[in-house]
Amino acid sequence: MLPFRSSAALALSAMLVAASGAARADDAAEVKQLLRTGQTTEASAKLDQFLAAKPKDPQLRFLKGVLLTESGQTAEAIDIFVALTVDYPELAEPYNNLAVIYAGQGRYDKARVALEAAIRGNPNYATAYENLGDVYARLAAQAYARGQQLDPGNAELAPKLARLQTLFTLKPVAAQAAASAASAATAKNPS
C-alpha cells in the first residue's frame, strides 16, 4: 500500500504558529512534548484544557485532529479538519490530513479535492504533491480494474494494472536499503 503522509503534529508549519500566536504556541509545545514522550492520555487532557480556554486556536485544533486520527477516531478528526478548512482556508495542513483520512477510507475523489485545496493554499507543499500523486495512482488502478471488468479481453489493461499494483506493494527505497544492510551485517556476523 502506498503510504499517504499526514502533516505531523510535531512538525506544524510556520503559518499555523503565526496564526495561533506565541502564548498559544507554548500550549501546543507542551502538548507536543507529551506526545513525543508517549503520554497520549496526558496530552489529550491538556489539549482539552487548552481548547476549553481557546476554542478557536488553529494549532490546538489541528493537534486535536491529529490526536483523534492517531487514536482511530476518524469521524471526529474529519469534523475538526473540515472546520479548520472553513475557518482557515489558507492553511494547507488540515486539507492534507483530511485527504489522508479520506484516502485511508478509499475515498480517493474526496482526497484529491482536499489535496488540490492544500496545494492552492501552499503551492510549495511537497507532501501534498506526493500524496496527490499517490491518489492519482490509486484512481488509475481503479479505472484500469473497472476497464478490465468491462472488457476482459483487452490485453493492454492487465499490464498497466499490474504495474500500478506493484507500486502499491513496493517498500520505500530507504527501508529496502536498511533491510539489505541489516541482512548483509547478519550474514557477516552471525550470532
Q: Cα separation of 113 and 171, whole Å?
A: 27
Of the candidates 26, 108, 97, which has an alpha carbon nearest to the alpha carbon of residue 68? Answer: 97
Written as nine digits, the cell of 14 is 510556520
Q: What is the pLDDT of residues 114-158, one digit of tens each?
A: 999 999 999 999 999 999 999 999 999 999 999 999 999 999 999
Q: What is the pLDDT of residues 52-94, one digit of tens each?
A: 999 999 999 999 999 999 889 999 999 999 999 999 999 999 9
pLDDT at position 25: 66
Amino acid at 111: A
CATH numbers and ranges of domains, the chain: 14-88 (1.25.40), 89-169 (1.25.40.10)
Written as nine digits, the cell of 22 is 506565541
Of the candidates 31, 41, 24, 26, which has an alpha carbon nearest to the alpha carbon of residue 10? Answer: 31
The strand ranges marked E within 56-186 are: none
Written as nine digits, the cell of 3 is 503510504
